Amino acid sequence: MQKWKLTTEFTFDSAHYIKDYDGPCGRLHGHTYKVRVEATSNQLHTSEYCPHPVMVADFRSLRWAKRDMEKGGLDHGVLNDILPPKYETTAEMIAQFIYDETKKRVPEGVRLKVMVSETPNSWVEYEDEP
């Protein structure tokens, strides 16, 4: 069976604190978050910007989080104020939030994996179950 996989990376800068954390991460601080999104599909799709079925998912749909927070993204905002209450601002929950929001923007049947790093040597992954 045919399968396409695309990967895109982007960064955004935001501040956060981890609620009730006993240590420095409990205080407001910032990161340059690095995000990698992988999308796989057994078929190609159209997009909001292209009427032809020629892509797994539109890169614009996958990179929504890099937009300024005033334009619906996460850049240059305080994540504690942006993320809905069910998401804490740990890297794990940020990855899940980006996954959940990205899933709404891609065609049905596209599988996603979202990786988030808030420091150069630490990553978290969140993905679909097979």
Residue found by looking up tokens 């978050």 in the block: 33
Q: What is the DSSP string of 5-19?
A: EEEEEEEEEEEE--T
The catalytically annotated residue of 16, 31, 45, 118 is: 118
The catalytically annotated residue of 9, 25, 29, 50 is: 25
The pLDDT assigned to 20 comes to 96
Residue 112's H or E segment, with its range, is strand 111-119
The pLDDT assigned to 39 comes to 97
Q: Which residues contact 118 (CB under 8 A, 6 or more apart)?
A: 31, 33, 91, 94
The pLDDT assigned to 103 comes to 97
The pLDDT assigned to 128 comes to 81
Cα-Cα-Cα-Cα dihedral sign, residues 102, 103, 109, 112: positive
Distance, in Å, from the CA atom of 115 to the CA atom of 58, rounded to the nearest integer, reads 18
**What is the block-wise mean pLDDT of the chain (130 residues), using blocks of 10 residues?**
96 97 97 98 95 96 96 97 97 98 96 96 90
Distance, in Å, from the CA atom of 99 to the CA atom of 44, rounded to the nearest integer, reads 20
Predicted TM-score (pTM) of the model is 0.95
Active site residue 118: yes
Active site residue 76: yes
- Domain 4-127 fold is Tetrahydropterin Synthase; Chain A (3.30.479)
Active site residue 129: no
The catalytically annotated residue of 29, 38, 76, 88 is: 76
